Amino acid sequence: MDETIKNHSLTSHVNGAHSDTRTQKREDYLEWPEYFMAVAFLSAQRSKDPSSQVGACIVNQENKIVGIGYNGMPNGCNDDLLPWSRSAENKLDTKYPYVCHAELNAIMNKNSADVKGCTMYVALFPCNECAKLIIQAGIKDVIYLSDKYHDSPEMTASRRLLNLAGIAYKQFKPKQVKIVIDFNSINHSDVETAQST
Ligand SMILES: [Zn+2]
pLDDT tens for the chain, 197 residues long, are 444 444 444 444 444 444 555 688 888 889 999 999 999 999 999 999 999 999 999 999 999 999 999 999 999 999 999 999 999 999 999 999 999 999 999 999 999 999 999 999 999 999 999 999 999 999 999 999 999 999 999 999 999 999 999 999 999 999 889 999 999 999 986 555 555 54
CA of 196 to the centre of ligand 1 (A): 51
Output the pTM of the full model.
0.84
Name the active-site residue from 89, 103, 129, 192. Answer: 103
On the 0-12 / 13-18 / 19+ scale of CB atoms within 10 A, 101 is buried
Q: Give 108's contacts (C-beta < 8 A, 6+ positions apart).
A: 67, 69
Contact 145, 172 (CB under 8 A): yes
- Å from CA of 35 to ligand 1 middle: 22
139-171: burial string, b at 16+ Cβ within 10 Å, e else: bbebbbbeeeeeeeeebeebbebbeeeebebee
How far away, in angstroms, is 124 Cα from ligand 1 center? 9
Q: Are strands 141-146 and 178-179 parallel, antiparallel or unpaired?
A: unpaired
Domains of the chain: 32-73+101-171 (3.40.140.10)
Could you tell me the distance, in angstroms and rounded to a whole number, from the CA of residue 170 to the centre of ligand 1? 17
3 is catalytic: no
